[in-house]
Amino acid sequence: MLALPLAALIAKSSSVGWAEFWRIATDPVALSAYEVTFVTALLAALVNGMMGTLTAWVLVRYAFPGRKLLEGLIDLPFALPTAVAGLTLATVYSSNGWIGSLLAPFGIRISFTRLGVGVAMLFISFPFVVRTVQPVLQELEQEVEEAAWSLGASRWQTFWRVVLPQILPAVLTGVALGFSRAVGEYGSIVIIASSIPFRDLIAAVLVIQRLEQYDYAGATVIGTAMLGISFLSLVVINLLQAWGSRHET
Amino acid sequence: MKPDGISGVKPEPSTNPWLSGLLIGIVGLYIALLLGIPVVNIFYQAFREGIPAFLQHLTERELLSALRLTVLTALVVVPLNTLFGLCAALALAHRRFPGRALLLSLIDLPFSISPVVAGLMLVLLFGRQGWLGSLLQAWKLRVVFAFPGIVLATAFITLPFVAREVLPVLEEAGTEEEEAAKTLGANSWQIFWRITLPNIRWGLLYGVILTNARAMGEFGAVAVVSGNIIGRTQTLPLFVEDAYRSYATGSAYAAAVVLSLLAVVTLVAKELLERGSPSRRIF
């Protein structure tokens, strides 16, 4: 079920031949699709690294009305089918949608541009950082922070020197998980983006376009390139998690 | 451990109300823009023309046949992967053998692979020119662009959920109770029904719920293998995209409401299960 499909993919891409593989994999349209995919996914993951840490902090440290509601909304991107997410994001962020119409006077268009790809990636990768950081923050011993305060450290120094080093492995794990999810995302992006090459065409959509043209070799090569990146981020995630668990002891 | 309710909040000593207010405001705004407003929009758009119009969209023939296919797929995939996940978790728990780490990361593979690439692999394997293509043709079996393909793609994508939820619970429960039952003369079937299953029931249920949510919502992998034939191999998520592209916004949002209710049920069930067992791990 798992190994056989993987073998089929690798066999097909190696049957293409090295020179041909390289030519398809580094074709200008493909290169720009990787760039759009990976750079946008990285930016989205980093923004969520910051906002997710802040969200976890607010949820763990402050009591306020509506906290339960926020807490419940966090997991929505895990539960909502991506086609639905793409549909509603495309509407809300289009130039006559609720949020898009506020930005349109400034000449900012989100739906059907690369910004739309970014918004969809922000949506689907949001829960990862919150859910990796929250338990670590929950377990932190506040005596250490209190000690820092009593020794005269400012609030900012305490966060930067005492709290952040302890939650950093969790933050980075969340960022890597979010990145890997954003790179592979298809459903929401195909709806919110216009998928024009060199502008907002992502790698996953390119694979589907090649398949629709019965270009199996092309689809396979680009799929294999994406697979390589997935494995790389898997290795990074495992290393980060190992680092995180060493930190705990 | 995650204590529930307000007791889970650790108040910061000498909190500055301005700072905490600002931080809460920023987080609230971000979540509203990214999650809250888009969700409200789904229901607003669906009911904008009134309930009769919504019901009319909801009972369109294409939508109903897509819904039927999605439910049917879940009915096949969820029991299949529950059984597999349970077996995998039982086989992997409390045992250390060479290749265990490899097997674990192989099970996790569908989480890190793009669904589109997963679908592509299945096409290369079962498609007309694929490895098993000629074999399947000889038996007059269609997999790609047909129901079996949709089931395979969905099963591939949702493979890890049950095993991932059950395994940590099994590891945490330890083997003492099972060993005690064994010394008292219970056979392995009795041990499973009386000891193991009650221990893992919440984790198992949660894994099943996650499997179901993903099975009904899967888009990328199914889009590749199904061929998206309206009324035949079009699942509900594919219907949403198709309707949106052909400017049938009303139908798209009617289907989106159905899928959103699935998400709501999933989130509520998660909340209830977390209350049932406080030591549950997060997603």
Q: Provide, as residue numbers in chain B, all residues whose Cβ is less than 8 Å from the Cβ of A80.
A: 39, 217, 259-260, 263
Size of interface A-B (CB pairs under 8 A): 248
Q: Provide, as residue numbers in chain A, all residues whose Cβ is less than 8 Å from the Cβ of B237.
A: 81-84, 187
Of A48, A40, A50, residue with least CA distance to A185: A40
Query: For residue range B124-161, what is the model confidence (pLDDT) as tens digits?
Result: 888 877 777 777 777 877 888 889 999 999 999 999 99
Compare CB distances from B36 to A73, A207, A233 and report the shortest one's residue: A73
State the average pLDDT for chain B.
86
Sequence-distant (6+) residues with CB within 8 A of A172 are A49, A240
Burial class (CB in 10 A: 0-12, 13-18, 19+), A19: exposed
Lowest mean pLDDT among A38-42, B76-80, B119-123, B267-271: B267-271
Does A64 touch chain B if contact means CB atoms closer than 8 Å? yes
Q: What is the pLDDT of residue B143?
A: 82
CB B217 within 8 A of CB A48: no
Handedness of CA B200, A68, A52, B37 (dihedral sign): positive
Asked if the model's pLDDT at residue B275 lies above 80, the reply is no
Closest CA–CA distance from residue B209 to any residue of chain A (Å): 10
Q: What is the pLDDT of residue A44?
A: 97
**Site from B16, B67, B114 to mutate, A interface, most A CB atoms within 10 angstroms:** B114
Compare CB distances from A60 to B10, B39, B267 and report the shortest one's residue: B10
Lowest mean pLDDT among B5-19, B205-219, B238-252, B262-276: B5-19
Q: What is the pLDDT of residue B9?
A: 55
Does A116 touch chain B if contact means CB atoms closer than 8 Å? no
Asked if the model's pLDDT at residue A212 lies above 90, the reply is no
**Site from A84, A119, A188, A215 to mutate, B interface, most B CB atoms within 10 angstroms:** A84
Q: What is the pLDDT of residue A235?
A: 84
Compare CB distances from B120 to A73, A86, A219 and report the shortest one's residue: A219
Q: What is the pLDDT of residue B279?
A: 47
Handedness of CA A245, A248, A249, B5 (dihedral sign): negative
CB A175 within 8 A of CB A132: no
Lowest mean pLDDT among A77-86, A225-234, A238-247: A238-247
Helices of type H across chain B: 17-31, 37-47, 51-58, 61-92, 100-112, 115-126, 133-138, 147-158, 160-173, 176-183, 188-191, 197-217, 220-226, 236-245, 249-276
Q: What is the pLDDT of residue B7?
A: 44
ipTM: 0.89
Which residue of A lies nearest to B12 if distances are taken between CA atoms? A61
Q: What is the pLDDT of residue B189?
A: 87
Q: What is the pLDDT of residue B5?
A: 40
The full set of domain ranges for chain B reads: 13-47, 50-276
The 8-class DSSP code of residue B5 comes to G
Region B169-190 average pLDDT: 86
Secondary structure in 3-state letters for chain A: CCHHHHHHHHHHHHHCCHHHHHHHHCCHHHHHHHHHHHHHHHHHHHHHHHHHHHHHHHHHHCCCCCHHHHHHHHCHHHHCCHHHHHHHHHHHCCCCCCCHHHHHHHCCCCCCCHHHHHHHHHHHHHHHHHHHHHHHHHHCCHHHHHHHHHCCCCHHHHHHHHHHHHHHHHHHHHHHHHHHHHHHCCHHHHHHCCCCCCCCCCHHHHHHHHHHCCCHHHHHHHHHHHHHHHHHHHHHHHHHHHHHHHHHC
Query: For residue range A45-58, what is the model confidence (pLDDT) as tens digits?
Result: 999 999 999 999 99
Q: What is the pLDDT of residue A35?
A: 92
Region B10-36 average pLDDT: 83
Region B170-197 average pLDDT: 86
Could you give the domains of chain A? 37-200+225-248 (1.10.3720.10)
In terms of CATH, what superfamily is B50-276? MetI-like (1.10.3720.10)
Top pLDDT among A143 and A86 is at A86
Contact yes or no for B23 and A72 at CB 8 A: no
Compare CB distances from B35 to A2, A76, A203 and report the shortest one's residue: A76
Asked if the model's pLDDT at residue B166 lies above 70, the reply is yes
Closest CA–CA distance from residue A223 to any residue of chain B (Å): 5
